Amino acid sequence: MKNWGYSIHKDNQIDLDRNDTSVYKALILVEPSIARCISCGSCCATCSSGEYTSLSFRKIMIQISRGETKDLYSNLSQCMLCGKCILVCPRDVNTRNAITKLLQILTTKN
């Protein structure tokens, strides 16, 4: 049998009914302004850490709202907590506090 270089991959569907959104719900309880986030990406555009690392607050918010918490702690630990993202947020989301609270939630969950 010839190998043509093709293989069957697992699908990339997100099952929102089975994903655990408890991290997002816990974050909204301790930082209610996070519910106003519209994932516009303004925070990522000014992020000093995002220029040199894979840190993206926008992607993090999308992941936790979907219930995907894999590798979340390693991404969050790259934040320098400089606060530039708070200054440019059009919805006045306290992103710095959200990151610190999210780190606390993830450490107590594991």
Domain positions in the chain: 22-105
pLDDT at position 70 is: 85
| Distance between CA atoms of residues 42 and 4, nearest Å | 44
- pTM of the prediction? 0.81
Please state, rounded to an integer, the average pLDDT across all residues of the chain: 90
| Distance between CA atoms of residues 17 and 39, nearest Å | 22
pLDDT exceeds 90 at position 35: yes
* Domain at 22-105: CATH code: 1.10.1060.10
Task: Give the closest residue to 60 by CA, choosing from 50, 51, 52.
Answer: 50
Query: Hunting for tokens 């936790």 — which residue is that?
Result: 64
